[in-house]
Amino acid sequence: MQVKVHKESVLKELLTQEDTDQDKKITIEDRGPKKFKILTVNSEIYTIEGTYYLSNLLQELKLAKEDSNGVVEISIADVTEQPGTRISKMIKEFYWDRLTRRLDQKGIDKILSDEKFNTEEKRLYIPYGDSEAFRYYKEITEGMEGITLEILPKEITPEYVRSINDKPGILGLGLTHENNKKRAIPFLVPGGRFNEMYGWDSYFINIGLLLDDKKELARGMIDNFTYQIQNYGKILNANRSYYLTRTQPPFYTSMVIEYYKKYKDQTSVYWLEECTKSAIYEYETVWMQPQKRLASNGLNRFYAEGIGITPEAEEGHYDYVLKKHKKDDSQSVREFEQKYLQREIENKALDEYFLHDRSVRESGHDTTYRLEGICADLTTVDLNTLLYKYEKDLSYIIKEYFGDDFTYEGRKLTSKYWNNKAFDRLQSINQYLWDTEKGSYFDYDLKARNRTNFESATGFYPLWANLCTTDQAKKLINYLLPKLKCKFGIAASSESSLNHVPKDAPKRQWDYPFGWAPHQMMIWRGLLNYGYKDLADELVYRWLWMITINAIDYNGVIPEKFDVVRGTYKIDVEYGNVGSDFKYVPDGGFGWMNASYKLGMSYLSQKLKDKLNELIHPDEVFLNK
């Protein structure tokens, strides 16, 4: 049923009555009567009761476009929609668009703004040699005040990146041609303060885009990664200047294959060929360079180059570490930090710490005590699983779509070539990362020459990549799942793996008790790969129930992460919880959390979806589990 109301008067009355803490949201923490009468323009009255329905009403009023008389039409059916249905619909019809950006005349000013830096200057850096991009950006910024265009040097060194840390800027992305005009290729940002295109976030976002049939956006994400590889030499941590020496976990081939399988009939094979060549280039030049990301044991490590403290970190983030190295008691931590930044103080131990810290950020798991102060010395389960998947993906693409005849820079690279690489990596993974006695995968410490025994959700990655045997999969699930499974999903680490951490040390967001969408999504797919459907269903339901109940209680919130022990987005940890700070309507939710909801709903049976909409607690649905 559609009803017409005067927008501003109803909105004001609703907030006055129900938003008692005046945060422009209606949540369980508000102390209003939780019962509101809507007066329509026809003097009809409709009563809306309960936090969830009142917050839906608030959202619908805010989203509705008013006519010249200030009247809007809203749907009572939308206001009273079942929660699972509403969340899925909001993601598809509203949130993806809110997270979409384009480096065009309309969108460039917003993208150039960077909440991580308090500066009025706005810079756009353009790759060396891309004269077409320079002309395009010069044309669209003509007349805009405060925007500077700068061309990057041909060779990007850590010294150069450090030299522009006080001049941060966005990095240009791909362009396409439509109707003889250049057009910026769209991309999606994670959400909240993250207003740029991130590396591994984009893969998980693309899963959601494909499920919602957002073809142009999914293609744009891949094309922008292709541009990054071809122009910056790598898929970037994100397209900001201070990320130029860092990549992120490699998911590019997975993105390409999943897109091409869905839209093969509408996509040129030449596009696939360009992507395949870009993937090979990235594999060989980013990951397989000795003394850098290719380690001495033949496996790979995260190894992000750079000098000094990462400029994007919030003030105070490194205080716990800096205090340990500050020898002069007359010096404040800030003074010591500044002198170190300006290289007035030399400290090799700190230099090494920040090499590891950058590498942690390259891993995407920033931050965790699994990698703290040691990351660049580890050949990790997650990275080597992903590169095994690259090798198998390239073998599959070449055989399936190019008749096993593929030439790259004058070399014939057959499916057998890539299968052999995958086989060799598998042998090394089993030698260095697989613990036969425990039945689990662990990172390998190159300096200590042993496995770390840190229990992490990344230990499940081999299930996702179909890397392990049936017997290994069974042992892995039996060992690791009881240590990481919580009431509302999989924790990023086991609680016991943090026993060595000093009690005064800060919490790390990629550790227990926090749960993250990418881990859940990979684990679900991994369990399904090996036939553990009942277990996958349970983990999906527990995760989606938590997202749903938080959205119901807190005005539709969809945040970056959750505490999977308490089942809440309200957490006290570094960086807070991005995506939870909004007014009226969630501002796009959070990219990979949106995608996890869409993927989880695609897996659940109708029976389980019905139970989710009825808000039946996971412990009642999965008795004795």
Helical (H) or strand (E) element with 478 = helix 470-484
Q: Rounded distance, CA 104 to CA 141, Å?
A: 9
In a domain, 495, yes or no: yes
Catalytic one of 60, 114, 455, 560: 560
- Look at residues 50, 66, 81 and tell me which one is the last residue of a structural domain: 81
Torsion sign across C-alpha atoms 166, 167, 169, 172: negative
**In the chain, % of residues over pLDDT 70:** 100
Confidence band of 180 (pLDDT split at 50, 70, 90):
confident
User: Which pLDDT tens digit goes with each residue over 442-456?
Assistant: 999 999 999 999 999
Tens-digit pLDDT profile for residues 355-410: 999 999 999 999 999 999 999 999 999 999 999 999 999 999 999 999 999 999 99
Whether the predicted pLDDT of 611 surpasses 70: yes
pLDDT at 602 over 80: yes
Domain membership of residue 14 (yes or no) is: yes
Same domain, 496 and 616: yes
In a domain, 168, yes or no: no
Residue 181 in any domain: the answer is: no
CA 382 to chain centre: 15
Could you tell me if 569 and 580 are in contact, meaning their C-beta atoms sit under 8 angstroms apart? Answer: yes
Residue 204, CA distances (Å) to 92, 495, 536, 595 in order: 15, 26, 18, 6
Residue 191 within any structural domain of the chain: no
pLDDT at 179 over 90: no
| pLDDT exceeds cutoff 80 at 119 | no
User: In Å, what is the CA distance from 102 to each residue of 18, 190, 205, 333?
Assistant: 37, 14, 16, 40
Which DSSP helix (H) or strand (E) runs through 184? Answer: strand 181-184
614 is catalytic: no
Two tokens, residue 512: 């227990």
- Residue listed under structure tokens 């198998």: 392
Q: Could you tell me which of 111, 158, 418 has the C-alpha nearest to residue 305?
A: 158
Round to whole Å and give the CA distance between 391 and 353.
Answer: 32
Choose, from 366, 377, 455, 537, the residue flagged as catalytic. 366
* Residue-level pLDDT at 114: 81
Residue 329 lies in a domain: yes
What domain range includes position 364? 319-378
CA 135 to each of CA 45, 132, 152, 175: distance values in angstroms, whole numbers, following the listed order: 58, 5, 15, 12
Residue 277 counted as domain residue = no
* Partners of residue 184 on adjacent β-strands: 175
Q: How far from 514 is each of 381, 520, 541, CA to CA, in Å?
A: 20, 12, 17
Q: Tell me the backbone φ, ψ of residue 389, rounded to 5 degrees.
A: -65, -40
Query: Cα(162)–Cα(607) distance, rounded to whole angstroms?
Result: 55
How sure is the predictor about 625, in pLDDT bands with cuts at 50, 70 and 90?
Answer: low
The continuous run of DSSP H or E covering 440 comes out as strand 440-441
Element (H, E) at 480: helix 470-484
Q: What is the pLDDT of residues 183-203, one digit of tens each?
A: 999 999 999 999 999 999 999
* Structure tokens given for 54: 């009142």
Average pLDDT, the chain: 96
**If pLDDT is split at 50, 70 and 90, which confidence band does 314 have?**
confident
Handedness of CA 281, 282, 287, 292 (dihedral sign): positive
Assess contact for 166 and 131: CB atoms under 8 A.
Answer: no
DSSP category for residue 298: S
Contact 210, 264 (CB under 8 A): no
Specify whether 494 is located in the same domain as 374: no
Tell me if residue 366 is catalytic: yes
Give the end of a domain, one of 54, 81, 108.
Answer: 81
Task: Give the per-residue pLDDT at 624.
Answer: 61
Look up residue 230 and give its amino acid.
Q
- Is 599 inside a domain boundary? yes
Q: Strand 181-184 and strand 175-178: pairing?
A: antiparallel
Question: How would you classify residue 372: left for phi > 0, otherwise alpha for psi between -120 and 50, otherwise beta?
Answer: beta
Point out the domain boundary residue: 342, 359, 378: 378
Same domain, 494 and 371: no
- How many structural domains are present in the chain? 3
Classify the phi-psi angles of 191: left when phi > 0, otherwise alpha if psi is within -120 to 50, otherwise beta.
Answer: left
The half-sphere exposure of 541 on its side-chain side, counting CA atoms within 13 A, is 26
Rounded to whole angstroms, the Cα distance separating 514 from 561 reads 7
Phi and psi, residue 585, nearest 5° = -135, 135
